[in-house]
Amino acid sequence: MKTYRSVLVGTGGIGDAHVAAVNATAGRVQLVAACDIDATRARTFCDRHKIPAAHTDYATMLQVEKPDIVLIAAPPGLHAEMSIAAMEAGAWVLCEKPLCASLAEFDRIEAAEKRTGRRTACVFQMRFASSNTHIRGLLTEGKFGRPLVAVCNTLWYRDDAYYAVPWRGKWSTELGGPTMSQGIHTMDHLLHLLGDWTEVRAVAETLYHKIEVEDVSMALVKFANGARASLINSTLCPRQETYMRLDCEQATIELTHLYAYKQENWKLTLADPANQGLQSAWNAFPPDVGSTHGAQLNAMVANMDAGTVPLTSGPEARRTLEFLTALYKSAYTGTIVTRGSIQPGDSFYTALHGGLAPKRTKDAGRA
């Protein structure tokens, strides 16, 4: 079987997760180089992980290393251009979230995919846990009955030191607040389980942090299957929790964790405790693989082997980005936004905030 050469761009904290992901492929992927604009940080990172080559220029790394896979962990504002450059250099891409700054940028990525025959997948590792695949299968088969009500909360905490990093807290570089940088994972996970959304009504505010972007957003969502969901995304919560709940006709399904989960984080409550058939179906979990970067990278390697589209590329990735864009549009226009309504010519097509995000003063949000 083919061994794929990979390179990593961005050696900050999340870079370690990508190294672990490469190690999880049992040799199918080899990490041959890493790149960072800080030469000392790049060299230190490479020495620590025994990566052969350290680079400070992304274009040079692509030219010299000729990778099959580019792992992108650079600041979000760079993701789109780096993804396109990687595909044009002949590589597939696994890019950290948020993948890009707008639907317009996404459409440029998609055009590059068609032009090059390569693929860019967004890191949405919550989809790739074996327990999630099992539960989604039961949902799809109708074992739980119709989904009716859902809760999707990303209640995290980020302090002033977190936002002191120069690229954070700005529309141009972080691309959004907890909607895009934190809650994006759980919202994508919810969409993966419940399917197509049809409308959203939302609010977004900057209640505390001295940042341009929001530090809290909330939304009410309608799905094509008739289900309704409530969402909270926040970086204001000292007791941190990631919580998703699906109430269906026959059962309540709950997932409680923080940044990753395994089978043990799920909980089932039956509407009828005597429904042993459903309990048995629930209990038939496959071997436990958690929601890791490694699980997603292994899935992408299988896509590369088969020449198939990664799960978080193409229409699936666009659906999530369109949902996040609609959330912002609803929040900043005070309207209900329907799926498919944001098209070229709409200010929100080219900017997540549509030019309407409230301007922040130096002391915005502080008492």
249 and 279 both lie in a single domain: yes
300 and 329 both lie in a single domain: no
Please report the sign of the dihedral spanned by the C-alpha atoms of residue 48, residue 50, residue 125, residue 69: positive
pLDDT reported for residue 167: 95
Would you say residue 360 lies in a domain? no
119 and 163 both lie in a single domain: no
Would you say residue 59 lies in a domain? yes
Per-residue pLDDT reduced to its tens digit, 57-94: 999 999 999 999 999 999 999 999 999 999 999 999 99
pLDDT reported for residue 359: 80
Strands (E), the chain: 4-9, 29-35, 53-55, 69-72, 92-95, 120-122, 147-157, 197-205, 216-223, 228-234, 236-248, 251-257, 266-270, 337-338
pLDDT reported for residue 363: 54
Would you say residue 367 lies in a domain? no
Q: CATH number of the domain that 275 lies in?
A: 3.30.360.10
229 and 267 both lie in a single domain: yes
Per-residue pLDDT reduced to its tens digit, 3-56: 999 999 999 989 999 999 999 999 999 999 999 999 999 999 999 999 999 999
142 and 120 both lie in a single domain: no
pLDDT reported for residue 361: 52
Query: What value does the mean pLDDT of the chain take?
Result: 97
Contact 79, 102 (CB under 8 A): no
Contact 250, 146 (CB under 8 A): no
Contact 354, 348 (CB under 8 A): yes
155 and 298 both lie in a single domain: no
Q: Compute the residue count for the chain.
A: 367
Where the chain has pLDDT below 50, the residues are: none
Tokens 């944001």 belong to which residue?
Answer: 342
Domain enclosing residue 74, as ranges: 4-126+294-309
